[in-house]
Amino acid sequence: MLSKLKPASVWRYFGEIMQIPRPSKHEEKISAYLQQFGKDHGLETLHDALGNVLIRKPASKGYEKSQGVCLQAHMDMVCEKNGDKEFDFLKDGIQPILDGEWLTADGTTLGADDGIGVAAILAILDDDTIEHGPLEALFTVDEETGLTGAGGLSTEWLQSDILLNFDDEDEGEFCIGCAGGIDTTVAIDYTTRYCPAGEEAYRVKVSGLKGGHSGDDINKGLGNANKMLTRILWNATEQCKIGLARIDGGNLRNAIAREAWADIVVAKDYDGAFRELVDRFREHLTFEFRTTEPDLKVELEPIAMPQLLIDRETQYNLLNCLLACAHGVLAMSREIPNFVETSTNLASIKMDDKQIHIATSQRSSVESAKLAAAQKIEATFRMIGAHVTHGDGYPGWTPNPTSRVLKVGVETYKKMFGHDPVVRAIHAGLECGLIGEKYPKMDMISYGPTLRGVHSPDERIEIKTVQMFWDLTLEILKNLK
């Protein structure tokens, strides 16, 4: 399928990469693949304890005195699938599907974020006809769940003056800045009680949502399944006295929750009222999200009677906090029109035998606002005595509009395509922030082909933009002489 696409070398490597399992924190196979590639091509190849890989290629003839350029992409991918899809991300290869002008996957994320960046770098390293200065190819691990690969990068590894990050998702734009982020996680202790006699048992499920990136897509009015389910359960607790047995929603801290479900019991006296309540909220939510979530489903199905329920106090506290927990845009930039400054994502709700675990993430281009957003989540759950912890977080990337590589990129793009590219900062985390912290003199831009539905099974890449991205990159390397 991919052999018919252009540029052939990029798609060939992307096809190989798709068959290598590479969830975040499980990049051993892709790291080994990259190291073997470097050795097979006779290139200096390094790796560190985290699994990051660095491959160096000497300058082409006539470019020996040019500034060194680092081409950078991350190895890992977000692993999301539809609920009815049987797939093991630790073992199975991605199944690509051609859909007109787009390439997507069969019921899973495609991994073009950032597999297409990795593939393009390999294609450059493999081609001795390309004109370029001294090259370094940096492949990092664990970008999607903490940026720990870039965060653990040695300050003495890179020799380049310029960095081209291939992790942007819109052809025709150059990114020159990004938000910083931090994770806030919550653990709530609970006890159980026996399910009383004379109850009916149901599973309430919210599904069919688009999901999406918790940074780039946070201002698009998309639904969060965790918030929708909470509204139903909170009202059902107040009006129908339901008991909660289990709750599960969302998966990844950097993805907006697409699905969520809960197993509940309700007394037979309230059964009719409960069914009516679910029907009513189905109508409300369908109307509220009629434009952004046309495939939204709210389903109710009978299930076997559970033996145990969450204790009443914890159920009451949990649903109150989840309803109060902020999600979405908290502040817009005061300097950049239509740019999100600060946001938070209610990412996932999971349970084990003793605790309920809630994962959230906060982003902001203002460091103090990022911390304030995290503290807002902490304060919400502190009121019920929950255990709240914050991750180490990662810094933002301050824009440099006078950058040399930006100037070269903009001039090259305009000459090739006849119009100016967009230059912007994004409300998402990029490894450029961490790399810039370790290499403060590094001149950086980020760009790439067009991707949509990133971090969801709707992820797809626009085929024609890969050729544009490739051609642009070769010209930028040539013009950086």
pLDDT in tens, the chain (481 residues): 899 999 999 999 999 999 999 999 999 999 999 999 999 999 999 999 999 999 999 999 999 999 999 999 999 999 999 988 999 999 999 999 999 999 999 999 999 999 999 999 999 999 999 999 999 999 999 999 888 999 999 999 999 999 999 999 999 999 999 999 999 999 999 999 999 998 999 999 999 999 988 998 999 999 999 999 999 999 999 999 999 999 999 998 889 999 999 999 999 999 999 999 999 999 999 999 999 999 999 999 999 999 999 999 999 999 999 999 999 999 998 877 888 999 999 999 999 999 999 999 999 988 899 999 999 999 999 999 999 999 988 888 988 889 999 999 999 999 999 999 999 988 988 999 999 999 999 999 999 999 999 888 999 999 999 999 999 999 999 999 8
Domain containing residue 222: CATH number:
3.30.70.360
Residue type for position 66: S
Residues 402 and 377 grouped into a single domain: no
The model's pTM: 0.76
The set of residues, in sequence order, having a beta carbon less than 8 Å from that of 207 and lying 6+ positions away, is: 83, 225, 258, 259, 296, 297, 299
Residues 207 and 327 grouped into a single domain: yes
Q: State yes or no: is 169 an active-site residue.
A: no
Q: Which residue, of 390, 414, 437, is where some domain finishes?
A: 390
Q: How far is CA 152 from the centre of its chain?
A: 20
Residue ranges making up the domain that contains 368: 182-390
Tally of structural domains, the chain: 2
Query: How would you class 187 by CB atoms within 10 Å of its CB: exposed for 0-12, middle for 13-18, buried for 19 or more?
Result: middle
The set of residues, in sequence order, having a beta carbon less than 8 Å from that of 125 and lying 6+ positions away, is: 37, 38, 41, 43, 55, 57, 135, 137
Q: Which residue, of 335, 367, 390, is where some domain finishes?
A: 390
Residues 283 and 379 grouped into a single domain: yes
Residues 58 and 36 grouped into a single domain: yes
Residues 92 and 62 grouped into a single domain: yes
Annotated catalytic residue: which of 27, 136, 143, 263?
143
Residues 201 and 173 grouped into a single domain: no
Q: State yes or no: is 311 an active-site residue.
A: no
Residues 277 and 311 grouped into a single domain: yes
Annotated catalytic residue: which of 76, 217, 443, 475?
76
Q: Which residue, of 344, 370, 390, is where some domain finishes?
A: 390
Residues 206 and 116 grouped into a single domain: no
Tokens of 1: 């399928």
Residues 370 and 422 grouped into a single domain: no
Domain containing residue 71: CATH number:
3.40.630.10
Residues 62 and 137 grouped into a single domain: yes
